[in-house]
Amino acid sequence: MLNSGLSYDEIWERSKEILKEKIPNSTFEPWIMPVVPAKEGEDCYKKDCMVLKSDKSFGVSFLNQKYFHEIQNTINSVCGVNLPVNIIFMPSDVKKAPKKKEKPAEHIVLMKEQIDNLKQMHSFCALNLKYTFENFVVGENSLVAYNAAKQVSEAPGQKFNPLFISGSVGIGKTHLMQAIGHNILKNFPDLKVKYAKTEEFTNQLVDSCQKGQESYQKMKKFRDRYRNVDVLLLDDIQFAEGKKRTEEEIFNTFDALFHLGKQIVFASDRPISSFKNTPDRLKSRYEWGLSVDILVPDFKTRVEIIEKHALRSNFEITREVAEFLAETFDNNVRELEGAYNKVSAYASIKGVELTVESAKEILGIDENAKKITPEIIIEECAKYYNVTKKDILSTARAKEIKEARQSAIYLTRELLNLSFPAIGEIFNKNHTTILYSYEKLKKELVFNKALQSSISEIEKLF
């Protein structure tokens, strides 16, 4: 503390404000800003002298040469006395923490490296950082798949090779597959992991096959991309079914990687048994390791998924609302999450409390609306055409019955958006018959006015 009553820190703060107006910013920011007064107790501290230190050696010599007088005069004007000023270089490692404290720092550096690696990986192979094992809620529906994925990520290429994950749309296959990628990178940072969707694989293959001057180079680049890796995660493999060139390339890529002991993971919306147009030799490769299926999560798991999601996004959701969502969206986790995202975003923006009632309103769920089921559609069509439900489900070919059946199939598809195999099960027909029947009626609707009015009359009943 000087006679002026100001401490060295205060004098320097005020001086800086004045200097900022006098010294160009290109000098002020890099060289003046890092400067601080020495404190009592430090080796370089001198009584009755303003010792200014900086860890920028070039900055110190530059300030001493060009701005020393400016700085000295400013300081003197602030404190009102002729105070000697020293600007000195003080490397920052002089203040380095004692050795003992270095340990956590190393740990932090390591963690940072891992995070950087993950980020690098994220951009290298388009991995979603959200898709980790920690963020995956394990239920009975996914326990086997989860355990297999975990084991693969702990010993890639050594256990289940390939791992084949199947399950319907939006059920968590991609999530689990990418979790393997994240965990491998965490456990074995030197391994090269590649995630790709089969559609992307096909597009790149087509691109590489095009004839031209660089075709050899292009193909080599493509193969390097998929074979020069330690772990290949190939998603949505059902996309390859029946695509000859793609399936052949997958087959060869598989063999090249497998013989080098590299890990391969496939995911598909359909089980291998449904790959009717895939050559047997490739199907047998798919089945070589372990095939696991993810099923629809049960109610309890669906509630947990919502609650975990809410926790991660820091949104408070009541058990009642989580249960309401889990009850309403019962066969697709992506849709369940989508509904949660919609209601939580809406409630946050509007600043209203999220209740079951407001959730229903946001999602446009009308409780009084009659819940449409295939049975109700069949019943209404039977009534309209004056036939029985049994007739519709039979193979009878009388005109009225045929029309009633086709309308019921058409409406089941249009109103409930069920898959053709699922509709086939309801109507005791195979899915190609259902597809044919649906397409036929759809085409006829374009020009058949009587049919148009029949269908719209039945639709009005719902």
- Does 334 bind ligand ADP (CB under 6 A)? Our answer is yes
Residue among 167 and 374 whose Cβ is closer to ligand ADP:
167
- The encoded tokens of residue 59 equal 């900055």
Give the number of residues in contact with ligand ADP, rule: CB under 6 A: 17
Report the residue closest to ligand ADP, judged by CB: 172
Residue 137 backbone zone (phi > 0: left; psi -120 to 50: alpha; other: beta): beta
Beta-strand pair 263-268/163-166 = parallel
The rounded distance, in Å, linking the Cα atoms of 408 and 366 is 24
Cβ 235 to Mg ion shortest distance, Å: 6
Beta carbons of 149 and 163 less than 8 angstroms apart? yes
Yes or no: say if 50 and 83 are a contact pair by the CB < 8 Å rule. Answer: yes
Select 117 or 168, whichever has its Cβ closest to Mg ion.
168
Q: Which of 8, 31, 133, 136 binds ligand ADP (CB under 6 A)?
A: 136
Residue 374: contacted member of Mg ion, ligand ADP, none (CB under 5 to 8 Å, by partner type): none
Least CB distance from residue 340 to Mg ion, whole Å?
19
179 token code pair: 């979790």
Q: Which of 37, 157, 162, 172 binds ligand ADP (CB under 6 A)?
A: 172
Nearer to Mg ion, 42 or 269 (CB): 269
Residue 292 CB, shortest distance to ligand ADP, in Å, is 12
**How far apart are alpha carbons 10 and 12 in whole angstroms?**
5
Could you give the C-alpha distances from 318 to 12, 298, 305, 355, in angstroms and in order? 54, 19, 14, 8
Distance of CA 391 to the CA centre of its chain: 49
Choose among ligand ADP, Mg ion, none what residue 337 binds, the Cβ cut-off being 5 to 8 Å by kind: ligand ADP
Residue 386 CA neighbour count, 13 Å, CB half:
2
Question: Out of 148, 171, 205, 434, which residue is the one contacting ligand ADP (CB under 6 A)?
Answer: 171
Indicate the residue type of 138. V
Name the closest residue to Mg ion (Cβ): 174
Interaction pattern, residues 344-383, with ligand ADP; x per rule: CB under 6 A: ----------------------------------------
d(CA 410, CA 423): 10
d(CA 401, CA 393): 9
Shortest Cβ 337–ligand ADP spacing (Å): 5
Distance (Å, rounded) from C-alpha 256 to C-alpha 264?
Answer: 11
DSSP state of 261: T
Closer residue to Mg ion (CB): 59 or 162: 162
**String of contacts with ligand ADP for each residue 254-293, x by CB under 6 A:** ----------------------------------------
According to the binding rule CB under 6 A, does residue 157 interact with ligand ADP?
Answer: no
What does 257 bind: Mg ion, ligand ADP, none (CB cut-off 5 to 8 Å by kind)?
none
Residue 71 site contact among ligand ADP, Mg ion, none (CB < 5 to 8 Å, cut-off depends on kind): none
Q: Does 142 bind ligand ADP (CB under 6 A)?
A: yes
Q: Which stretch binds ligand ADP (CB under 6 A): 97-105, 130-138, 278-286, 426-434?
A: 130-138
Residue 169 touches which of ligand ADP, Mg ion, none (Cβ within 5-8 Å per kind): ligand ADP
Label residue 248 exposed, middle or buried (CB < 10 Å: 0-12, 13-18, 19+): middle
Contact with ligand ADP (CB under 6 A): which of 337, 379, 414, 425? 337
Return the closest-CA partner of residue 250 out of 189, 172, 197: 197
Nearer Cβ to ligand ADP, position 240 or 408? 240
Nearer CB in complex with ligand ADP: 174/454: 174
Give CA–CA dist 196/207, Å, rounded.
16
CA distances from 432 to 65, 311, 413 (A): 89, 45, 14
Task: Give which of 194, 201, 288 is closest to 250, Cα–Cα.
Answer: 201
Q: How far is the CB of 159 from Mg ion (least distance, A)?
A: 23
- 169 binds ligand ADP, rule: CB under 6 A: yes
| Helices 173-187/102-125 angle, 10° precision | 140
Span interacting with ligand ADP, options 56-64, 132-140, 200-208, 376-384, rule CB under 6 A: 132-140
What tokens were used for 175? 């999530």
Site for ligand ADP in 290-329 (CB under 6 A): 305
The least distance separating Mg ion from the CB of residue 334, rounded to whole angstroms, comes to 9
Q: What is d(CA 401, CA 407) in angstroms, rounded to the nearest whole number? A: 10
264: helix, strand or coil: strand
Binding site for Mg ion (CB under 5 A): 174
- The binding site for ligand ADP (CB under 6 A) comprises 131, 135-137, 142, 167, 169-175, 305, 333-334, 337
